[in-house]
Amino acid sequence: MDIFSNGDWLPLSFAALMGLSMLIYAVLDGYDLGVGILMKRATNDEKDRMIGSIGPFWDANETWLVLGAGLLLVAFPKAHSIILSNLYLPVAIMLIGLMLRGVAFDFRAKAKTGHKNAWNNTFFAGSLITAVAQGYMLGAYILGFDKSIAAIAFSLMVGGCVAAGYCLIGACWLIMKTEGALQHKAIGWARVSLWGTMLAIALISISTPLVSERIFDKWFSFPNIVLLAPIPLVTATLVIALEVLLRQLPKPDDRWCWVPFVSTIGIFVLCFHGLAYSFYPYIVPDQLKITEAASAPESLMIILMGALVVLPVLISYTFLAYKIFHGKAKDLSYD
């Protein structure tokens, strides 16, 4: 294969690794950000239980963002500076959001009892700010960092859409991890946010080819259109199946409580795949290609060797953590 002979395989594998981290981040931190946003609609006891369901995981979930951004930084420094200097304020706002929710998580349980409500609200606000800021960045990225009013409006809309997607996966996480009244509520939340998510997918899918001629050609030329068709078709099938299933949940003995979560992951994966396909081979849309932005091969090589050794270990202890805390969530306790 020619990508191996000309040395491009190294930057491309890094782009793949980075994409994979971003996808894992969107799924994992997506569910705990979603739970944070949904907390606004829960009673106090339910809030404790919802926090209990994400408590052991949120910290490691956020680390995938550090890895994704870190790989962009170390493997594609040129792209990192173009992207981040264009997204300067949304990044700063997202970081503030992440900071607020991360510490609110601890303070809500440890600060004075009378302050718990304020920290709950901080947790909600931080989660929402983070989700919207991430969606805003996605929108701005799709538009190639256009700074017009229309572009800002579009990015804000994508911000709302990403928040809806996170609510969906958060609600599906709760369906899997909780029971009783809270689970019933979560089913309702999932059905509402499924609509938001559908709208989000439709909006991004329609506007992306319209704003970029290159992506339009890529999608609608033959044979690409035939090869790409399964992505929207499978996504639509999953969405419909999810809607049908949500109407029937909870089933006796809580059968299938995990299915909505897994289907939502499927939807996320397909969307991500569509985006990645559209932008390839660019790392900054229409400006900079993956191979042009990469660091020196010897530096990439030493990171890749490390990653190949460490990633399997990392994935196995992540599985261990999920296995230890599997089953319905309990209230958090240190002993």
Partner 1 sequence: MMELDPALLARIQFATNITFHILFPSITIALGWVLLFFKMRFNATKNEKWMEAYFFWTKIFALCFAMGVVSGITMSFQFGTNWPGFMETVGNIAGPLLAYEILTAFFLEATFLGIMLFGFSRVPAWMHNAATFLVAFGTTVSAFWILALNSWMQTPAGFEMRDGVAHATDWFQIVFNPSFPYRLTHMLLASGVTASFLVAGLSAYRWLRHDRTPAVMAALKTGVLTAAILIPLQIFTGDLHGLNTLQHQPQKVAAMEGLWETKNGAPLVLFALPNKETRQNDLAIEIPKLASLILTHEWDGELKGINAFENNHPPVAQVFWAFRVMVGTGLLMLAVSWSAVFFLWKRKDLVKPLAYAMVPMAFSGWVATVSGWYVTEIGRQPWLVTGVLKTADAISDTPAPIIGISLSMYLTVYAVLMTAFITTLFYMARKAGQVKKDPLTPASGQAVVEALD
Question: By the 8 A CB rule, do 16 and 281 touch?
Answer: no
Closer residue to partner 1 in complex, CB, 227/320: 320
CA distance 21 to 306: 16
Is residue 321 near partner 1 by the rule CB under 8 A? yes
Out of 12, 20, 84, 236, the residue judged to bind partner 1 by CB under 8 A: 84
Q: Where are the beta strands (DSSP E) in the chain?
A: 282-284, 288-289
Closer residue to partner 1 in complex, CB, 241/288: 288
The residues, ordered by sequence, that sit 6+ positions from 178 with a Cβ below 8 Å of its Cβ are 49, 50, 53, 186, 328, 329
Closer residue to partner 1 in complex, CB, 207/295: 295
Tokens of 253: 């003995």
Closer residue to partner 1 in complex, CB, 63/207: 63
Per the DSSP assignment, residues forming a β-bridge with 289 are 282
Q: What angle do CA 14, 18, 22 make, to 5 degrees?
A: 170
CA distance 71 to 307: 11
Closer residue to partner 1 in complex, CB, 111/269: 111
Out of 37, 100, 215, 246, the residue judged to bind partner 1 by CB under 8 A: 100
Closer residue to partner 1 in complex, CB, 98/132: 98
Which stretch in 101-109, 135-143, 217-225, 250-258 sits in contact with partner 1 by CB under 8 A?
Answer: 101-109
Q: Which of residues 108-147 bind partner 1 (CB under 8 A)?
A: 110-114
At 148 the three-state DSSP class reads: coil
Distance of CA 134 to the CA centre of its chain: 9
Out of 18, 50, 75, 182, the residue judged to bind partner 1 by CB under 8 A: 75
Smallest CA-to-CA distance from 94 within 153, 163, 164 is with 163
Q: Contact positions toward partner 1, by CB under 8 A?
A: 55-57, 59-60, 62-63, 65-67, 69-75, 77-78, 80-81, 83-85, 88-89, 91-93, 95-96, 98-100, 102-103, 105-107, 110-114, 295-296, 298-299, 302-303, 306-307, 310-311, 314, 317-318, 320-321, 324-325, 332-335
